[in-house]
Protein backbone atom coordinates (compact mmCIF):
# COMPACT_ATOMS: atom_id res chain seq x y z
CA UNK A 1 0.00 0.00 0.00
CA UNK A 2 1.41 3.40 -0.90
CA UNK A 3 2.59 5.46 2.01
CA UNK A 4 0.33 8.40 1.27
CA UNK A 5 -2.76 6.09 1.29
CA UNK A 6 -1.85 4.81 4.74
CA UNK A 7 -1.46 8.38 5.92
CA UNK A 8 -4.88 9.32 4.52
CA UNK A 9 -6.58 6.36 6.24
CA UNK A 10 -4.92 7.32 9.51
CA UNK A 11 -6.15 10.91 9.22
CA UNK A 12 -9.72 9.82 8.40
CA UNK A 13 -9.76 7.49 11.39
CA UNK A 14 -8.53 10.24 13.67
CA UNK A 15 -11.19 12.63 12.37
CA UNK A 16 -13.93 10.05 12.92
CA UNK A 17 -12.80 9.46 16.50
CA UNK A 18 -12.84 13.19 17.14
CA UNK A 19 -16.37 13.45 15.73
CA UNK A 20 -17.57 10.62 17.98
CA UNK A 21 -15.97 12.20 21.03
CA UNK A 22 -17.52 15.53 20.16
CA UNK A 23 -20.96 13.97 19.72
CA UNK A 24 -20.74 12.23 23.08
CA UNK A 25 -19.74 15.47 24.72
CA UNK A 26 -22.64 17.34 23.12
CA UNK A 27 -25.15 14.68 24.19
CA UNK A 28 -24.01 15.07 27.78
CA UNK A 29 -24.69 18.77 27.82
CA UNK A 30 -28.16 19.72 29.04
CA UNK A 31 -29.25 23.27 28.29
CA UNK A 32 -32.90 23.17 29.24
CA UNK A 33 -35.12 21.83 31.98
CA UNK A 34 -38.75 21.86 32.99
CA UNK A 35 -40.75 22.32 36.15
CA UNK A 36 -44.27 20.94 35.78
CA UNK A 37 -46.83 21.74 38.41
CA UNK A 38 -50.41 20.55 38.75
CA UNK A 39 -52.97 21.93 41.14
CA UNK A 40 -56.64 22.01 42.03
CA UNK A 41 -59.13 24.63 43.04
CA UNK A 42 -62.03 22.85 44.67
CA UNK A 43 -65.52 24.21 45.23
CA UNK A 44 -65.61 26.03 48.51
CA UNK A 45 -68.64 27.02 50.56
CA UNK A 46 -68.60 28.28 54.09
CA UNK A 47 -71.08 29.39 56.75
CA UNK A 48 -70.06 31.32 59.82
CA UNK A 49 -71.58 33.57 62.35
CA UNK A 50 -72.15 37.08 61.09
CA UNK A 51 -71.88 38.56 64.57
CA UNK A 52 -73.84 39.02 67.74
CA UNK A 53 -77.37 37.76 68.20
CA UNK A 54 -80.14 40.23 68.97
CA UNK A 55 -82.88 39.01 71.27
CA UNK A 56 -85.92 41.19 71.76
CA UNK A 57 -89.38 40.94 73.25
CA UNK A 58 -88.19 38.36 75.68
CA UNK A 59 -89.27 38.00 79.27
CA UNK A 60 -86.49 36.34 81.13
CA UNK A 61 -84.12 34.36 79.01
CA UNK A 62 -81.09 35.72 77.27
CA UNK A 63 -78.32 34.88 74.87
CA UNK A 64 -76.42 31.95 76.37
CA UNK A 65 -73.76 31.57 73.68
CA UNK A 66 -73.46 34.54 71.42
CA UNK A 67 -72.33 34.60 67.82
CA UNK A 68 -68.84 35.79 66.99
CA UNK A 69 -68.32 37.19 63.53
CA UNK A 70 -66.37 34.86 61.24
CA UNK A 71 -66.43 32.05 63.76
CA UNK A 72 -68.41 28.83 63.48
CA UNK A 73 -72.09 29.37 64.06
CA UNK A 74 -73.07 27.76 67.37
CA UNK A 75 -75.34 30.15 69.18
CA UNK A 76 -77.51 29.18 72.11
CA UNK A 77 -80.45 31.27 73.18
CA UNK A 78 -82.96 31.09 75.98
CA UNK A 79 -86.09 32.71 74.58
CA UNK A 80 -87.55 33.03 78.07
CA UNK A 81 -91.24 33.04 78.70
CA UNK A 82 -93.45 32.28 75.71
CA UNK A 83 -96.73 32.05 77.59
CA UNK A 84 -99.21 34.86 78.12
CA UNK A 85 -97.09 36.08 81.02
CA UNK A 86 -94.95 37.69 78.36
CA UNK A 87 -96.89 40.70 77.16
CA UNK A 88 -94.68 41.52 74.22
CA UNK A 89 -96.00 41.09 70.74
CA UNK A 90 -93.22 38.73 69.69
CA UNK A 91 -90.10 37.18 71.14
CA UNK A 92 -87.63 37.60 68.33
CA UNK A 93 -84.10 36.32 67.90
CA UNK A 94 -82.07 37.75 65.07
CA UNK A 95 -79.06 35.60 64.17
CA UNK A 96 -76.59 37.06 61.62
CA UNK A 97 -75.21 34.52 59.16
CA UNK A 98 -72.19 34.95 56.94
CA UNK A 99 -71.67 32.92 53.79
CA UNK A 100 -68.67 32.71 51.47
CA UNK A 101 -68.05 30.64 48.38
CA UNK A 102 -66.19 30.40 45.10
CA UNK A 103 -69.12 28.61 43.51
CA UNK A 104 -72.91 28.78 43.42
CA UNK A 105 -74.34 27.91 46.79
CA UNK A 106 -77.50 26.60 48.42
CA UNK A 107 -78.25 27.33 52.05
CA UNK A 108 -80.60 24.80 53.63
CA UNK A 109 -82.20 24.72 57.05
CA UNK A 110 -83.39 21.76 59.05
CA UNK A 111 -85.35 22.20 62.25
CA UNK A 112 -86.67 20.25 65.16
CA UNK A 113 -89.10 21.57 67.78
CA UNK A 114 -89.65 19.50 70.85
CA UNK A 115 -92.08 20.45 73.61
CA UNK A 116 -92.83 18.67 76.84
CA UNK A 117 -96.53 19.24 76.39
CA UNK A 118 -98.81 16.58 75.09
CA UNK A 119 -101.73 18.44 73.63
CA UNK A 120 -102.37 20.36 70.46
CA UNK A 121 -101.78 23.51 72.43
CA UNK A 122 -98.13 22.82 73.03
CA UNK A 123 -95.62 24.83 71.06
CA UNK A 124 -95.03 23.22 67.70
CA UNK A 125 -92.81 23.93 64.71
CA UNK A 126 -95.54 25.99 63.08
CA UNK A 127 -95.54 28.32 66.09
CA UNK A 128 -91.94 29.32 65.49
CA UNK A 129 -91.75 31.94 62.81
CA UNK A 130 -88.70 31.90 60.61
CA UNK A 131 -87.34 33.91 57.73
CA UNK A 132 -84.22 35.39 56.24
CA UNK A 133 -83.91 39.15 56.07
CA UNK A 134 -82.08 41.49 53.79
CA UNK A 135 -79.17 39.87 51.98
CA UNK A 136 -76.06 41.99 51.84
CA UNK A 137 -73.18 41.48 49.47
CA UNK A 138 -70.73 44.25 50.16
CA UNK A 139 -67.05 44.93 50.66
CA UNK A 140 -63.93 44.45 48.62
CA UNK A 141 -63.77 41.09 46.92
CA UNK A 142 -67.47 40.27 47.15
CA UNK A 143 -69.25 39.41 43.93
CA UNK A 144 -72.40 41.37 43.15
CA UNK A 145 -74.81 38.55 42.46
CA UNK A 146 -78.56 38.17 42.88
CA UNK A 147 -79.65 35.76 45.58
CA UNK A 148 -82.96 33.94 45.85
CA UNK A 149 -84.63 34.05 49.24
CA UNK A 150 -86.97 31.10 49.59
CA UNK A 151 -88.48 32.46 52.79
CA UNK A 152 -90.85 35.35 53.28
CA UNK A 153 -88.45 37.43 55.30
CA UNK A 154 -89.12 38.80 58.74
CA UNK A 155 -91.89 36.58 60.10
CA UNK A 156 -93.18 39.33 62.37
CA UNK A 157 -94.26 41.44 59.43
CA UNK A 158 -98.05 41.78 59.34
CA UNK A 159 -98.15 40.31 55.88
CA UNK A 160 -96.53 37.11 57.10
CA UNK A 161 -98.97 36.06 59.79
CA UNK A 162 -102.22 36.63 61.59
CA UNK A 163 -104.62 35.21 64.11
CA UNK A 164 -106.59 32.31 62.78
CA UNK A 165 -110.19 33.47 62.78
CA UNK A 166 -111.45 30.05 63.68
CA UNK A 167 -109.04 28.87 66.30
CA UNK A 168 -107.75 32.20 67.54
CA UNK A 169 -104.21 30.91 67.43
CA UNK A 170 -101.62 33.13 65.87
CA UNK A 171 -100.21 31.56 62.71
CA UNK A 172 -97.28 32.37 60.48
CA UNK A 173 -99.01 31.96 57.19
CA UNK A 174 -96.63 33.13 54.48
CA UNK A 175 -94.55 30.77 52.38
CA UNK A 176 -91.81 29.10 54.43
CA UNK A 177 -92.45 31.53 57.27
CA UNK A 178 -92.29 28.99 60.08
CA UNK A 179 -90.21 25.97 61.01
CA UNK A 180 -92.83 23.45 59.96
CA UNK A 181 -91.59 24.05 56.43
CA UNK A 182 -88.10 22.97 57.49
CA UNK A 183 -88.71 19.73 59.34
CA UNK A 184 -86.60 18.17 56.64
CA UNK A 185 -83.69 19.97 55.06
CA UNK A 186 -85.11 22.66 52.80
CA UNK A 187 -83.56 25.40 50.75
CA UNK A 188 -83.77 28.79 52.39
CA UNK A 189 -81.40 30.78 50.22
CA UNK A 190 -79.39 30.25 47.05
CA UNK A 191 -77.28 32.27 44.70
CA UNK A 192 -74.20 32.57 42.52
CA UNK A 193 -70.63 32.55 43.79
CA UNK A 194 -70.04 35.03 46.56
CA UNK A 195 -66.33 35.82 46.57
CA UNK A 196 -64.14 37.02 43.75
CA UNK A 197 -60.55 35.75 43.53
CA UNK A 198 -59.34 37.06 46.88
CA UNK A 199 -57.43 35.44 49.72
CA UNK A 200 -59.27 33.61 52.44
CA UNK A 201 -57.99 36.24 54.86
CA UNK A 202 -60.42 38.65 53.26
CA UNK A 203 -63.14 38.71 55.92
CA UNK A 204 -65.94 39.97 53.73
CA UNK A 205 -68.81 37.86 52.54
CA UNK A 206 -72.56 37.63 52.18
CA UNK A 207 -74.42 38.45 55.38
CA UNK A 208 -78.05 37.75 56.08
CA UNK A 209 -80.03 37.83 59.31
CA UNK A 210 -82.03 34.76 60.23
CA UNK A 211 -85.19 35.69 62.13
CA UNK A 212 -86.86 33.43 64.64
CA UNK A 213 -90.06 34.63 66.28
CA UNK A 214 -92.65 33.25 68.64
CA UNK A 215 -95.89 34.96 69.47
CA UNK A 216 -96.51 34.54 73.21
CA UNK A 217 -99.81 32.71 73.56
CA UNK A 218 -101.72 30.44 75.90
CA UNK A 219 -99.52 27.55 74.98
CA UNK A 220 -99.59 24.43 77.06
CA UNK A 221 -97.09 24.88 79.82
CA UNK A 222 -93.83 23.04 79.64
CA UNK A 223 -90.40 23.33 78.15
CA UNK A 224 -89.57 23.63 74.52
CA UNK A 225 -86.34 23.06 72.62
CA UNK A 226 -85.97 24.50 69.16
CA UNK A 227 -82.98 23.45 67.12
CA UNK A 228 -82.12 24.69 63.65
CA UNK A 229 -79.19 23.49 61.58
CA UNK A 230 -78.03 25.47 58.59
CA UNK A 231 -76.05 23.76 55.87
CA UNK A 232 -74.49 25.36 52.84
CA UNK A 233 -73.60 23.29 49.82
CA UNK A 234 -72.25 23.83 46.33
CA UNK A 235 -74.54 22.04 43.91
Summarize as ranges the residues that interact with another protein (CB under 8 A). 25, 29-44, 46, 100-103, 140-141, 193, 195-200, 202, 204, 234
CB of 10 to another protein, least distance (A): 13
CB of 73 to another protein, least distance (A): 18
Dist. CA 174–CA 153, nearest whole Å: 9
CB of 144 to another protein, least distance (A): 12
Best CA proximity match to 158, nearest among 179, 168, 146, 172: 172
Mapped onto helix, strand or coil, the DSSP state of residue 110 is strand
Dist. CA 151–CA 188, nearest whole Å: 6
Distance of alpha carbon 69 from its chain centroid, rounded? 13
Dist. CA 189–CA 47, nearest whole Å: 12
- Contact call for residues 131 and 153 (beta carbons, < 8 A): yes
CB of 47 to another protein, least distance (A): 13
- Contact call for residues 135 and 206 (beta carbons, < 8 A): yes
Best CA proximity match to 137, nearest among 95, 110, 97: 97
Q: Please, which residue, 61 or 192, has the CB nearer to another protein?
A: 192
Q: Please, which residue, 94 or 198, has the CB nearer to another protein?
A: 198
Q: Please, which residue, 93 or 194, has the CB nearer to another protein?
A: 194
Dist. CA 219–CA 97, nearest whole Å: 30
Q: Please, which residue, 64 or 196, has the CB nearer to another protein?
A: 196
Q: Please, which residue, 44 or 180, has the CB nearer to another protein?
A: 44
CB of 59 to another protein, least distance (A): 43
Amino acid sequence: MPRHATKLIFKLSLFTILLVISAVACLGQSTSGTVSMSATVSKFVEINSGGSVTLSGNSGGGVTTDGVANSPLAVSINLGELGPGNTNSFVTALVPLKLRSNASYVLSASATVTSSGSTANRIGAADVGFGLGTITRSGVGVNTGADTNATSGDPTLPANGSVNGTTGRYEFTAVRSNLSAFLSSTTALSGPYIMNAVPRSNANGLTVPAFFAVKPQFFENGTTTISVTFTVTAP
